[in-house]
Amino acid sequence: MDKTLLSLGHGYSARALAARLIPQGWRIIGTTRSREKLDEIAATGVEPMLWPGSDLSSLLQEVPNLLVSAGPGPEGDPVLLDLQDEITAAAPHLRWVGYLSTTGVYGDHGGDWVDETTPLTPSTRRGAARVQAEAEWGAIPGLPLHIFRLAGIYGPGRGPFAKVRKGTARRIIKPGQVFSRIHVEDIAQALDLSLAKPQPGAIYNLCDDDPAPPQDVIGHAAALLGLPLPPAVDFDKAEMTPMARSFYAESKKVRNDHAKAALGWQPIYPDYRSGLAALLEAED
């Protein structure tokens, strides 16, 4: 197997995957829009490339594996807007293409369970854009596409501890609200397993085993730190950005049984309690 991966939009989850693959002898090429991030990416052992700004045509004809982390913008999917013809031409020789999507494609289910067979009924503009992007990627003939629908991501540098320590954390209370979430290392583990065992056309939900109300997570983080329980604020009265408020427009519990069965994947952090404890231990 040719252990070369082109990572388009080399972000948080892609960096976690690279940290797993590079010790296994993989060559990772990661793109970024920011010149300032080129040295930062290179320091992790990934070959950095500025894109847009570089011609990827010949590279796409050479690499066998492609990870797409860049999300859609107002004009649509940025990768397909720039590279659809090149990716279509490269499709016959690609062995694995991973597209990182979101469980937001399912929309609101009033706290009920969803799985990969649930109809896509997004209730936010971001979710609708992801549904369209998934369809556009899926329409490329012969592309060995794997779609990963990610729950709310947390991990090093992305946890509730900073806000709890600052005293700015709040427990937003919206009756019946429940979210699924996933530690970034569990995303990386699933992608690693999929790369080793391609199943073109597969769709996987990636989330932990314990969907939970967001206020429970904040409360547990405070308990781990030995700090007072952050104040409870009614959702209707809470001051929130439109982006933050939009996350509360959807309530659902996401099943991960398919990823477990098809990939042999088991979350390293099956619930937020184990994940937060590991983050705090790593800090110490």
Helical (H) or strand (E) element with 82: helix 78-90
The answer on pLDDT for 1 being more than 70 is no
Distance CA 26, CA 17 (A): 11
| Distance, CA of 90 to CA of 172 (rounded, Å) | 47
126 dihedral zone (left: phi>0; alpha: psi -120 to 50; beta)? alpha
Domains and CATH numbers, the chain: 4-155+182-207+254-269 (3.40.50.720)
Collapsed DSSP state (helix, strand, coil) of residue 58:
helix
Backbone φ and ψ of 258, nearest 5°: -65, -45
Angle at which helix 214-225 crosses helix 272-283, to 10 degrees, equals 40
pLDDT of residue 95: 97
Residue type, 137: W
Which residues have C-beta within 8 Å of that of residue 260, sequence separation ≥ 6?
266
Q: List pLDDT tens digits, range 204-217.
A: 999 999 999 999 99
Q: In what order do the strands lie in the sheet with 96-102?
A: 47-50, 27-32, 4-8, 65-68, 96-102, 145-150, 203-206
Q: Which residue has the tokens 């793109």?
A: 31
- DSSP H helix total and E strand total for the chain: 11, 13
Closest C-alpha among 64, 32, 59 to residue 46: 32
For 152-193, how does the pLDDT look when each residue is reduced to its tens digit (9 = 90+)? 999 998 989 999 999 999 999 999 999 999 999 999 999 999
How would DSSP label each residue in 110-164? TT-EE-TTS-----SHHHHHHHHHHHHHHTSTT--EEEEEE-EEEBTTBSSHHHH
Report the percentage of the chain scoring pLDDT > 90: 84
Rounded CA-CA distance 151/104 in Å is: 8
Mean local confidence (pLDDT), 243-263: 93
Q: Is the pLDDT of residue 103 over 70?
A: yes
- Rounded Cα gap, residues 44 and 193, in angstroms: 21
Nearest to 177 by CA among 275, 121, 251, 262: 251
Structure tokens at 228: 């007072």
- For 24-67, write each residue's pLDDT tens digit: 999 999 999 888 889 999 999 999 999 988 889 889 999 999 99
pLDDT of residue 254: 98
